[in-house]
Structure 1
Amino acid sequence: MKRNRRVSLFSYVNIIVLSLLSLSTVLPLLHIVAKSLSSETYLLAKEIWLWPKGFNFASYEYVLSYKQFYISFWNSLIITVVGTVISMAVTILAAFSLSRKNFPTKRAFMLFFIITMFFSGGLIPTYLVVKQLELLNTLWSVMLPMALAPFNLILIRNYFLSLPEALEESAVMDGASNLRVLVSIYLPLSLPTIATIGMFYAVGYWNSFFQAMMYITDRDLMPLQVFLMQIVSNSKTGDMTTGGVLSELTPESTTAAAIICVVFPILCVYPFIQKYFVKGVMLGAVKG
């Protein structure tokens, strides 16, 4: 009886804590949405919390009036889609190779990958490598240096190790090659893990800001995150002169609208991938 009470108490405490954590995530987003849809009068009076007042779309009109927004959106879309495909291909192939029992130097390679989780080459050496490879002012400079995340590699490798060996043995007896085993057996069974890791990569590429600031100076290659920084900078310096919406704009509403415009596209992907998150990460953490 006491055990049941303790379990019940833990469940209630767990629900309360998780609810508070969820609110701490949702409420700031709702506050930003409210500010982006509110008029200047209420924003200057600091009366906006979770519901907009003086409802209008002036800030969104201002942000979307920039031609650069659509150029940057296209650049971010290319970086996210192509970068995620490259990262998933490299990660899956590396994880499959490192999960082979007959791969003699897999421990040395795993050590090599793990070391990079604690030590990096440094900012200047990385920049020089990108420059020597003639990747400056190209979208490749954002995608290729981020092509492999050791943590994601370890998750997929661990899941591959957790699969029954009999599946592979039966395929090999039927004459299947390593590539066929990977494509026909491992990938279909690894869909939750692959979907989760793919989302991790996609969010990382979509939010890539520092790499673009470091390696890209051409405005036509600017991703959305850099565009957002410029919008925020312009609103702070008072450079907000677009059509007839000027009277409805404030730096706060403009910044909030820019944030929503940048976050909304990647946010729309979450509902389709969410069901794989917990299952995918847990499956990849079963066996080391």
Structure 2
Amino acid sequence: MNSHRKNAKGFDIINAVLMVILSAMFLYPVIYIISLSFSDSSAIIEGRVLLFPVEFTTAAYERLFQDSSIINSFFFTVRITVFGVLSSLIATVIAAYPLSRSHLRGSGVIMRLIVFTMYFNGGIIPTYMVIRNLGLFNSMWSLILPNLVDTFLLIIMINYFRGLPVELEEAARADGCSNFKTFYRIFLPLAKPAVATLTVFYSVAYWNTFFNALLYIQDQTRLTLQVKLYQVLSMFSDALDPAAGVDASIIPENLKGATVVLAVLPIICVYPFMQRYFVKGVTVGAVKG
């Protein structure tokens, strides 16, 4: 018994050490980028920035917020994320509930067709032609409608509804509730963990919109933040407004760092508040079925 406890304790110690090492490996690039964005250009050029900011300065952020194109991209991406997440949640949840009911006729065929889309799709050119013919170019809906429902997340939501006791539906029917009222009053409140999971996934997907923005957004005032970040990283002098002026304390490296921080900070701030729902929703939605 003592040897078993010693082995378990040794395993816990080794596991803790490995987790600390892995956490450090994941956190260091983030900390380094943040430090880079707050460090003076001379310290960056001399290679003195390793972990913490050296000669702390906010010049890169001041320059960043002087450029109207960055601000426009930020708020345009916020709009896409807010409207996209709301639209996707409504469509996914409303589609998942009836498909989770065993008495729905043709549900098996519909599920097979839905799963089929995970392996095959229309392709880039047909989708491009559809967006063009619908007149959605330079619209945020061109970035939302093609990805309105994610098949994987729909399956998670279906499995979550299937995992809830069927007696709830039978009791609601006995009380005279309609299908919609049963869904809205009983099943939807119980699905908060799964909905929170979908919210995190959809938020990350819409916030990181890049490729579709390159295809469908031609108006330079409506670029997503990720496209603008790409411009800053690849074409520093052309991506920013030259009228903003040049500061000797700013070089491409710390301005790139500030742009990266601006791009990832909102998601990093949102995730901790939804983590407990996220873990529960993925576990239950993936296992039960």
TM-score by length of 1: 0.93
Q: Tell me the matched-pair count.
A: 288
Match of 2:162 in 1: 161
Measured after TM superposition, the shift of residue 236 of structure 1 is 6.3
Structure 1, residues 209-238: CA drift from partner, whole Å, max 9, x if none?
Answer: 111111000122212111212222332679
Asked if 1:110 corresponds to 2:111, the answer is yes
Where does the alignment leave 5 or more consecutive residues of structure 2 unmatched?
none
Mapped partners of 2:280, 2:189: distance in 1: 15
Distance 1:120 1:6, change over 3 A: farther
Matched letter for residue 58 of structure 2? F
Q: What residue identity is the alignment partner of 2:62?
A: E
Q: State the percentage of identical aligned residues.
A: 39
Partners in 1 of 2:243 and 2:221 — Cα distance? 21
Deviates more, 1:77-86 or 1:239-248: 239-248
Cα distance, 1:111 vs. partner? 1.4
**SS, match of residue 116 in structure 1:** helix
CA deviation after TM superposition for structure 1 residue 18, in Å: 2.6
Q: CA RMSD, aligned part only?
A: 1.9
Alignment check: 8 A CA contact 1:232 1:254 kept: no
Aligned equivalents of 2:285 and 2:98: distance in 1?
16
- In structure 1, what is the equivalent of residue 82 of structure 2? 81
Aligned to 2:280: 279
Residue 163 (structure 1) shift: 0.6
Aligned to 1:246: 247
> After the TM superposition, which residues 246-265 of structure 1 pair with which residues of structure 2 at under 5 Å, given as runs?
246-265=247-266
How high is the TM-score relative to the length of structure 2? 0.93
Check the 8 A contact 2:231/2:239 in 1, yes or no: no
C-alpha deviations, 1:171-219, integer Å up to 9, x for none?
A: 1111111111111111111111111111110111011111111100012
Q: Deviations over 1:7-42 (max 9, x none)?
A: 434433332333222222211000001111111111
Distance across 2 between alignment mates of 1:24 and 1:130:
41
Higher mean C-alpha deviation, range 93-102 or range 230-239: 230-239
Gaps of 5+ in 1: none
SS across alignment from 2:144 = helix
Code of the aligned partner of 2:226: Q
- Whether the 8 Å CA contact 1:61–1:245 is kept in 2: the answer is no
CA contact (8 A) 2:213 2:227 kept: yes
